[in-house]
Amino acid sequence: MTLRVDLWDNEGKTAYAEYKDFSLGIPQSNYELRVGRYSGTAGDAIRDPSSDLVSGPDRYDGQNGYGFSTSDRDNDSCGSDCTEIKRRLPESRSGVYMIHPAASRIPFKVYCEMGADGGWTVIQKRTGAAVSFEQNWASYEHGFGHLTWDHWLGLNKIRWLTQSKRMTLRVDLWDHERKTAYAEYKDFNLGIPESHYEIHVGRYSGTAGDAIRDPNPYDGQNGLGFSTSDRDNDNCDLCIFEFDIAFHKCTDIYGGGWWFSGCGSANLNGPYPHTSMKRSPYWKTWKGFHLLTATRMMIKSE
């Protein structure tokens, strides 16, 4: 079937949109909408190819593939986080979704990792050097990168998410031999902007080691504020690197932006490639300072 949509405005002007291969899904899929190739004069509203930029417009307007909703049957993709969307719509697949946490004034887009254990909201992902994580405070606060691959969601959005619900943080790590390890923390949340979004994590479980809550005060990072090259909130006043290089800002040696102490057992936002003067992404309790080739941080509500 071809679908034709005719529209008239209050000046009698008209426009149309035509879609090839129009069909509806089975009732159990809530009659989800499927359309193919577009032509017309009204624009392709149903398949709106909105970008996957983290810092792009805060909207996701595509409707292709969605079920039908009425006031008494909510099948839209909006939830307060990925966990809620997955619970409500168990068939949901991994991808970009619009969410609206209670603490946030506006809805925004996130990447949802939909697994057998529920829906996870991705807050950080790295697979290579294409997206630079050498960014300033404003970028780390509002987010950067591409939702469908490498990105940082943004301290303000992570805070809204953790303010609204009790969250578990999961950190996934990969090394150059494609070995993998993980760390999970209960009760993950970020403090207010005035506290520089200080990180708080609870009980640890996993295989990568508890790098964030290292008992050594120079290595432990729990309770510390976030630092970037232009905002020094770390616990390093005079630190020594490899016996002879003195520095007072952790980002000078470790790069990126992180909840540095002095400077700490983890930083997943360090620069690639490995040959640079700065340290690459590391999780000391798993691989020491050896380069991690890929990392992902994501959160799930209880």
Q: How far is the CB of 159 from Ca ion (least distance, A)?
A: 23
Query: Angle at the Cα of 41 (from 40 to 42), degrees rounded to 5?
Result: 100
Residues of this chain that bind Ca ion (CB under 5 A): 232, 234, 236, 248
**How near is the Cβ of 299 to Ca ion at its closest, in Å?**
28
* CB of residue 233 to Ca ion, shortest distance in Å: 8
Minimum distance, C-beta of residue 246 to Ca ion, in the bound complex (Å): 12
Cβ nearer to Ca ion, comparing 35 with 236: 236
Min dist. Cβ of residue 234 to Ca ion (A)? 5
Of all helices (H) and strands (E), which one includes residue 87? helix 82-88
> Which CB atom, from 26 or from 238, has the smaller least distance to Ca ion?
238
Produce one character per residue of 64-101: b if its CB has 16 or more CB atoms within 10 Å, e if not. Answer: ebbbeeeeeeeebbebbbbbbbbeebeebebebbbbbb
- Of 151 and 279, which CB lies nearer to Ca ion in the complex structure? 279
Decide the pairing of beta strands 151-152 and 282-283.
Answer: unpaired
Measured from the CB atom, the residue of 145 and 225 that comes closer to Ca ion is: 225
Beta strands in the chain (DSSP E): 3-8, 14-19, 23-24, 33-34, 38-40, 95-99, 108-115, 118-126, 144-145, 151-152, 167-174, 180-190, 199-200, 204-206, 239-241, 245-247, 266-267, 282-283, 294-301
CB of residue 248 to Ca ion, shortest distance in Å:
5
Please identify, using beta-carbon distances, which residue of 81 and 234 lies nearer to Ca ion: 234
Is residue 274 within 8 Å of 291, Cβ to Cβ?
Answer: yes
In the bound state with Ca ion, the residue whose beta carbon lies nearer, of 76 and 252, is 252
